[in-house]
Amino acid sequence: MPKVAASERDAFYEGRRTEIAEAALRLWAEGGFDATSMAAVAEAAGISKGTLYLYFPSKQALLEEVLRRYSLLPNIQNLTANLAGLSFEDAVHGFVRAAWRHLSEHRDLVLLALRELPSNIDRARQAAEHILVPANRLIATYLEQQLGAERGREISFIVAGRGLIGTVILLFLTQEMLGAGRFLPVDEPQITDTIAQVFLHGVMGSGETKG
């Protein structure tokens, strides 16, 4: 008879895979993919090396599973989707706050992705092509709806949208990871509000005074 009942088997198996993936993500974020041995992953997951290989056929496969499971990017689309009914101002503020929260909740993955991005430039390109580009288009379309095509001739909504994401990400990295908050104390609402407000006025331009 098996160690766990047949009905529980799949749940157990998936649970193990999740534990391993989480352990791997944590260690890789700390020490890097190459520099972290499978033995270390196994130990962190509380199993033996051999057992680890029952759940993932290779280190590369484990990496791929981790990246698939915890992919940051698909959620960018979700973030924009949730803001449908709001005013432009609220939508921008909401998006920035949601993005920040999302980054906070996926600290390890941000680190891992950052680290492995240059090594997996092809994978990164694919991700960019299939996820970032459509998401960017979505944001640009939204901006055009809100701000008019005329403003779109002055600034690139594509650039503006991607710039907003960049602003959030780098502020998150410096604040949370590098501990810049210790030296330049700004709290989280102040950050997200400033980002949103600067972006808002920025993209709207001198619209009302321009006339």
From the list 4-12, 59-67, 74-82, 129-137, the region that binds a copy of itself by CB under 8 A is: 129-137
Contacts of 161 (CB under 8 A, 6+ apart): 136, 139, 140, 143
1 binds, among a copy of itself, DNA, none (CB under 5 to 8 A by kind): DNA
The nearer residue to DNA, 57 or 85, going by C-beta atoms, is 57
Is residue 115 close enough to count as binding DNA by CB under 7 A?
no
Across the chain, which distance is largest between two alpha carbons, in Å? Answer: 80
15 binds, among DNA, a copy of itself, none (CB under 5 to 8 A by kind): none
Residue 132, Cβ density class (10 Å: 0-12 exposed, 13-18 middle, ≥19 buried): middle
Which residue pairs, CB below 8 angstroms and at least 24 apart, start in 129-136? 131/71, 131/73, 131/74, 131/76, 131/77, 132/73, 132/76, 132/162, 134/77, 135/73, 135/76, 135/77, 135/80, 136/161, 136/162
Is residue 166 close enough to count as binding a copy of itself by CB under 8 A?
yes
List of residues contacting a copy of itself (CB under 8 A): 29-32, 34-35, 111-112, 114-115, 117-119, 121, 124-125, 127-129, 132-133, 136-137, 154-156, 158-160, 162-171, 174, 177-180, 183-184, 186, 190-191, 193-195, 197-209
Which stretches of the chain bind DNA, using CB under 7 A? 1-4, 9, 12-13, 16, 35-39, 47-51, 53-55, 57-60
